[in-house]
A and B are shown apart, each in its own frame.
Chain A
Amino acid sequence: MTYVGTAASETAWTRAAANGPLLEVRRLTVDYTAHQAATRAVSDISFDIAAGEALGVMGKSGCGKTTTALAILGVLPNTASVHAGSIRFRGRDLLSLGESELRKVRGSEISMIFQEPAIMLSPVKRAGDQVAEVIRAHSGKSWRDCRREALSRLAEVRFDCAARVYAAYPHQLSGGQQQRVAIAQALACGPALLIADEPTASLDLATQLEILDLLQDLRERLGIALLVISHDSGVLARVATRVIVMERGTIVEEGEIERVFNQPRNAYTRSLVTVRPSLRAVADNEPRPQPRLEEPLVKVRGLSKRYGPRRWRKTFSVQALTNVSLEIPAGSTVALIGESGAGKSTLAWCLLRLEPPDAGEIYFAGRDLLKMPRQEFAAIRRKIQLIFQDSAQALNPLFSAVEVVSEPLDIQRLGAKAERRARALDLMEQVGLRAAWADRSPLEFSGGERQRLAIARALTLEPDLLILDEALTGLDLPIQAEILDLLGELRAARRLTYLYISHDLNLIAQLADEVIVMHEGRIVERAGTGELLRCPRHPHTQALVGARVEI
């Protein structure tokens, strides 16, 4: 493993190593300016990273951790600017460098990987070429050499078949593979510091572990310093040795990771560290009394669905569901767990008749959903509501918050206009949103608030069944916990039934009465939550339970 470094940077390296830390941030203050009003995103923070060290930055979303990272690389958005402070890297003041000098540092000496590799890679370029581009930008080698080097970088991030990945476009790769391509890009020129901004937040658990393991390994083998940004103490515990905790733009706690996590001095830190619910605690609980009723609300029998080959192209057909049968008792919460591609969402779509199944029957409150005429089903559809993962995309940004909530009433023409608005405002308050925010756009809410808005919208038609398709995924853990509490309250108050779909067993364990595990279109295990956690039987379930990122 030899990284090509220029002679100049070698000497800079040795000099800096002798003189002090690799990166030295002093009294950094960053402001965002919008409509002539400045908001302070980062205020007066100082920290060091030594060569080869792994520093974690922890905090809720909006605490300024990403802004700090972007400031180091000099790629802040146009609306943001460094107000005061200095950033020294290997003895050079990065803030005083011109754009072209700074460009040479980016990607070669300091590089970065981002939260969502899916949108951080160019969709129209081959994965390998995107790695080659980085090498080309910093070395001036011929394209042929760059491509060859890119191929070997891909092999370094553990691709078995690097040549195939090289030729693939990002949409042909899984999330974990995309993130590894992004890491290969970041490593392409042998950087001394790698900034990882929530590198695993959008990945499923097994893949999270893989990526974290890879980062750890790279640090040990190549001596690259890491700056890992995360809201998740479990992630940081795996890779970081020291951690700083940020709240509203300032550093509230700093120290060795064991000390900070085991004896947090700050209440905010404590809330971040303890928010992850321990599965064991749930497992040890007595099984909840099951609210059994004579007739289950939803009954699925022998459901199968194959996504056929497209009409005019030779494509694979995918067996999304194979002979799936399940029951959801009224008033209960059933968690449907499985990796992406396990057929969970297809099942939800079949329940809503958004996809016609090939075979099988679905009963809702005793009535056959699939054979029912369209008009009759329209009435049923009000009783089944779906909440999506990404509420920023699922909610119309041109609507105001109150319109988002009242739109279902408008469509169904229930009540007078003023009544609908009043009802929407009432619902907003029930889900913990202030009525004063009614006229904001959904995009002006934070992720958690927006998901509350989505819940309020789903509740307007007073459904019996709420399908939550990865509804908590992508939110910060503390926010996830808050929404989970809200769901619990709503269930008690309105006698709702939940079908919770996720790849993540962690959070739902608190709320779910029963867990159904799916794998490749089949149900491989179903059991009460406590029982399933205590003794998972199917190897796949064991993997899911075992894959938790433990502190």
Chain B
Amino acid sequence: MRFIMMRVLHSVALLAGVSLLTFLFLRLAPGDFFADLRLNPQVSAQTVAALRASAGLDRSLPLMYARWLKSVAKGNLGFSLAYNAPVAPLLWGRARNTLLLTGVATLLAWLIAMPAGVASAARRFGIADRLIGGGTSLLLATPELLLALGLLALAVRTGWFPSGGMVSVAVAGLSLPAKIKDIALHAALPVTALVGGMVPVLVRHVRASMLEALQAPAIRAARAHGITRRRLLFGYAFPAAANPLVSLFGLSVATLLSGSLLVEVVMSWPGMGPLLLEAILSRDLYVVIGAVMFSTVFVVMGNLAGDALLYAVDPRIRTRS
């Protein structure tokens, strides 16, 4: 219990630190939301100053931070100048879309990578290993952007998949199953792009830790006891190889929110990516900070989840006396 308390306290301190740094850096960067207005000769300097003052941008950093904290306490996370609305609901809607995309992609990527990595390690330098190794190298060498654009081109040429957005125009009139189908069709391409980016890295990790686990003396002993090859791979080596993979899984949860920014922008998926991009370009201060905070929360939770999972998976950690 005390351990968990400590972890929560650490996390809160971490969040406070990250928010402070983000504030500081955004303030240090030149310009603000009204910088473009200032260039407009038809708008007087007084008007711009008044606008800045009404948005609270003329305050000192500590004061701004304090007001932001107050807003966080209220559950608003500040105010978006571009959308003229509180940040929290805005972010939450977008984050949900991103999570849908990245969650499905992460799950799929692991489901593909685990058997592929095991098969690759089962016969090192065998045919399967060479094929999988070649495939992952190719995918690794392909920039995610190129992959996304290629898929987009495919969608446009063939018309099999919608080429952007998350729902069809007429979605409101559809029944629930039809709605789900519609979203799935829209999600297919971005998910594929994300999976294509994740799988090669995961396969290499699975393969490497399986190879290491297969080297263990315990495997040699089990072989000498006549354990079948299948059990050796899945009953002995895979559990032994799980540790680094579980940690990796925790990390991949941590990047759920930020992982798909590029793909979302290219495929115009209404997630955090486009929102964050616009917010940064227009210096919509609180939206940027809010997005960073969301990601930080995920990093912290991902790590906690990884630790908890490790605890569940590895008896050496679980039963340490």
Please indicate whether A and B come from the same complex rather than being unrelated chains.
Answer: yes
What is A's interface to B at a CB cutoff of 8 Å? 70, 73, 75, 103-108, 111-112, 114, 116, 119-126, 130, 133-134, 136-138, 169, 171-172, 182, 185-186, 188-189, 311-313, 315-316
Inter-subunit contact A124/B225 (CB<8 Å): no
* A311 with B315, Cβ < 8 A, contacts A108-B226, A112-B224, A138-B226 known: no
How far, in whole Å, are A70 and B320 apart by their CA atoms in the complex? 34
How far, in whole Å, are A169 and B226 apart by their CA atoms in the complex? 21
B41 contacts A by Cβ under 8 Å: no
* A114 with B239, Cβ < 8 A, contacts A107-B226, A124-B316 known: no
Tally of A-B residue pairs with Cβ under 8 A? 96
Inter-subunit contact A123/B217 (CB<8 Å): no
Inter-subunit contact A312/B239 (CB<8 Å): no
Binds A, one of B49-57, B228-236, B265-273: B228-236
B221 contacts A by Cβ under 8 Å: yes
B227 contacts A by Cβ under 8 Å: yes
Inter-subunit contact B316/A123 (CB<8 Å): yes
Inter-subunit contact B218/A119 (CB<8 Å): yes
B314 contacts A by Cβ under 8 Å: yes
How far, in whole Å, are A172 and B239 apart by their CA atoms in the complex? 18
22 contacts between A and B (CB under 8 A): A70-B224, A75-B220, A75-B223, A103-B226, A106-B224, A107-B227, A112-B225, A114-B224, A120-B218, A122-B218, A123-B240, A124-B240, A133-B225, A133-B227, A134-B225, A134-B226, A136-B231, A137-B227, A137-B231, A185-B225, A186-B225, A315-B321
How far, in whole Å, are A427 and B315 apart by their CA atoms in the complex? 45
Inter-subunit contact A312/B1 (CB<8 Å): yes
Interfacial chain B residues near A315, Cβ < 8 Å: 320-321
How far, in whole Å, are A134 and B236 apart by their CA atoms in the complex? 12
B160 contacts A by Cβ under 8 Å: no
* A75 with B224, Cβ < 8 A, contacts A119-B218, A122-B240 known: yes
B3 contacts A by Cβ under 8 Å: yes
Interfacial chain B residues near A172, Cβ < 8 Å: 319, 321
In the A-B complex, the 6 residue pairs with the closest CB atoms: A107-B226, A312-B3, A107-B225, A106-B226, A120-B221, A312-B2
Residue of A nearest to B243 (CB): A124
B308 contacts A by Cβ under 8 Å: no
How far, in whole Å, are A70 and B223 apart by their CA atoms in the complex? 11
Interfacial chain B residues near A125, Cβ < 8 Å: 235-236, 239
CB of B65, distance to nearest CB on chain A (Å): 33
Listed residue (A105, A124, A126) with the most chain B CB atoms within 10 angstroms of its CB: A124
Query: Looking at the complex, which one of B218, B226, B229, B242 makes contact with A104 (CB distance below 8 Å)?
Result: B226
B222 contacts A by Cβ under 8 Å: yes
Listed residue (B216, B222, B319) with the most chain A CB atoms within 10 angstroms of its CB: B222
How far, in whole Å, are A339 and B226 apart by their CA atoms in the complex? 35
Inter-subunit contact B3/A169 (CB<8 Å): no
Inter-subunit contact B218/A121 (CB<8 Å): yes
Per-residue CB contact flags for chain B residues 236-262 toward chain A (1 = under 8 Å, else 0) read 100110100000000000000000000
Per-residue CB contact flags for chain B residues 201-230 toward chain A (1 = under 8 Å, else 0) read 000000000000000111011111111110
Inter-subunit contact B216/A119 (CB<8 Å): yes
CB of B66, distance to nearest CB on chain A (Å): 35
How far, in whole Å, are A135 and B321 apart by their CA atoms in the complex? 30
Listed residue (B216, B225, B314, B319) with the most chain A CB atoms within 10 angstroms of its CB: B225
Mark out the residues of chain B between 166 and 184 whose CB falls within 8 Å of any chain A CB in the assembled complex.
Answer: none
How far, in whole Å, are A103 and B225 apart by their CA atoms in the complex? 8
Inter-subunit contact B315/A124 (CB<8 Å): yes
How far, in whole Å, are A124 and B315 apart by their CA atoms in the complex? 6
Inter-subunit contact B224/A121 (CB<8 Å): no
**New contact pairs (16) apart from A130-B222, A169-B316, CB-CB < 8 Å:** A75-B220, A106-B223, A106-B224, A106-B225, A106-B226, A107-B224, A108-B226, A112-B221, A112-B225, A119-B216, A126-B315, A134-B225, A137-B231, A169-B319, A171-B319, A315-B321
Inter-subunit contact B316/A171 (CB<8 Å): yes
Interfacial chain A residues near B224, Cβ < 8 Å: 70, 73, 75, 106-107, 111-112, 114
How far, in whole Å, are A137 and B226 apart by their CA atoms in the complex? 7
How far, in whole Å, are A311 and B225 apart by their CA atoms in the complex? 41
Interfacial chain B residues near A116, Cβ < 8 Å: 217
* A122 with B226, Cβ < 8 A, contacts A137-B231, A171-B316 known: no
CB of B317, distance to nearest CB on chain A (Å): 10
How far, in whole Å, are A105 and B225 apart by their CA atoms in the complex? 9
CB of A423, distance to nearest CB on chain B (Å): 37
Inter-subunit contact A120/B217 (CB<8 Å): yes
Interfacial chain B residues near A106, Cβ < 8 Å: 223-226
Residue of B nearest to A103 (CB): B226
Interfacial chain A residues near B225, Cβ < 8 Å: 106-107, 111-112, 133-134, 137, 185-186, 188
Interfacial chain B residues near A124, Cβ < 8 Å: 239-240, 242, 314-316
Interfacial chain B residues near A119, Cβ < 8 Å: 216-218
Interfacial chain A residues near B218, Cβ < 8 Å: 119-123
Listed residue (B3, B216, B321) with the most chain A CB atoms within 10 angstroms of its CB: B321
Residue of A nearest to B239 (CB): A124
How far, in whole Å, are A220 and B197 apart by their CA atoms in the complex? 63
How far, in whole Å, are A361 and B217 apart by their CA atoms in the complex? 43
CB of B2, distance to nearest CB on chain A (Å): 4
Inter-subunit contact A311/B226 (CB<8 Å): no
Mark out the residues of chain B between 124 and 176 whose CB falls within 8 Å of any chain A CB in the assembled complex.
Answer: none
How far, in whole Å, are A316 and B224 apart by their CA atoms in the complex? 37
How far, in whole Å, are A185 and B242 apart by their CA atoms in the complex? 24
How far, in whole Å, are A74 and B92 apart by their CA atoms in the complex? 61
Interfacial chain B residues near A185, Cβ < 8 Å: 225
How far, in whole Å, are A114 and B222 apart by their CA atoms in the complex? 11
Inter-subunit contact B228/A103 (CB<8 Å): yes
Interfacial chain B residues near A182, Cβ < 8 Å: 221
How far, in whole Å, are A130 and B226 apart by their CA atoms in the complex? 12
